[in-house]
Amino acid sequence: MSFPVTRMRRLRRTEALRSLVRETHLHPGALIYPLFICSGEGVRKEISSMPGIFNLSIDEAVKEAESVAALGVGGLLLFGLPAEKDEQGTGAWADDGIVQTALKEFKKNRKLDSLVQIADVCLCEYTSHGHCGVVARDGDHYEVENDSSVALLAKTAASLAAAGADIIAPSDMMDGRVAAMRAALDAGGQQLIPILSYASKFASAFYGPFREAADSAPQFGDRRSYQMDGANLREAMREIEQDLAEGADMVLMKPAMPYLDVIRAARERFDVPIGAYQVSGEYAMLHAAFQRGWLEQERAMMESLLSIRRAGADFIVTYFAKDAAALLG
């Protein structure tokens, strides 16, 4: 049937009609809020390029997490800023590490029971050089070693699970880390802790503000020898396939908005839960436009999240989680 029998506008006439035929929905339980936890007490330091996002000491992080839980947000993704860094990133797997200590606090607090507490696993926040693994140097040349990094990452995963993490989320992009983490978790009696692997993580300019937030900018070189080339969709599918074969329970893809086609391709190909990370630069650029009055804040925020859901993400890690959850009610 074509016009005039078919008139597409009939179903757009009122909000009630539009609501009835809406294909994609957002809900607070499918949003994950990242937290950047630092040492000290009473620390609440705003990140200049990310309005409303803070480095929080554990006492402040507990308050923030309580407000996140009260809004019905599904979970937290935890990053740590240790007081001290070293070549190997030993703070990442220390029993009294910053995220381990925070997790133990969070787990004592019944108001946080509704939040899935996800621990990011990487070394870059903990290494003095800011790379995601062990660096071997030879004069001017350097290499981020794979297998020695994987051993440390696996130790980190086991330590975070022992401290109470509900999900382990490796973001380092070393080869073979998922299998090593699964083995380390199982050996530590954590057979029921799932792995959410950042399977398709592209080397992206959109991570810029995060590096301030997590104090994790590489001191030399860049991350292109381990994170993926932004031009490659087929390679992303291979990365996901590999991680699933190694035992990943879910996958996370990042960034989100510049890679919606990759999320869609993954959705069509894999039947595991897929998360997408709307990264710091996506948040920062929208906020820059909000500040200038160039975009309408609430509508642009919700449209950005909806686009990621529509592309096929089951859940979204986003700095907008609190604002969006408050709007969704």
In the complex, the residues that contact Zn ion under the rule CB under 5 A are: 122, 124, 132
Catalytic residue from among 45, 107, 155, 201:
201
What's the DSSP call for residue 259?
A: G
Q: Which is nearer to Zn ion, 124 or 262 (CB)?
A: 124
- Whether 254 is catalytic is yes
Q: Which is nearer to Zn ion, 30 or 165 (CB)?
A: 165
Asked if 275 and 259 count as a contact pair (C-beta separation under 8 A), the reply is no
Of how many residues is the chain composed?
329
Please state the closest distance from residue 37 (CB atom) to Zn ion, in A: 16
Q: How many helices (H) and strands (E) does the chain have?
A: 11, 12
Q: Which is nearer to Zn ion, 226 or 259 (CB)?
A: 226
3-class SS of residue 157? helix
CA 82 vs. chain centroid, Å, equals 19
- Whether 108 is catalytic is no
Please state the closest distance from residue 133 (CB atom) to Zn ion, in A: 8
Indicate the Cα dihedral angle 147, 149, 152, 158, nearest 10°: -80
Please state the closest distance from residue 227 (CB atom) to Zn ion, in A: 9
Please state the closest distance from residue 124 (CB atom) to Zn ion, in A: 3
Q: Which is nearer to Zn ion, 170 or 312 (CB)?
A: 170
> What is the DSSP annotation of 108-143?
H-GGGTTSEEEEEE-STTTBTT--SSEEEEETTEEE
Q: Which is nearer to Zn ion, 30 or 124 (CB)?
A: 124
Asked if the bond preceding 255 is cis, omega within 30° of 0, the reply is yes
Please state the closest distance from residue 226 (CB atom) to Zn ion, in A: 9
φ, ψ for residue 102 (rounded to 5)?
-60, -45
Catalytic residue from among 45, 63, 107, 254:
254
What are the CA-CA distances from residue 140 to residues 112, 149, 172, 222 (Å)?
A: 48, 21, 23, 14
Which amino acids are annotated catalytic? 201, 254
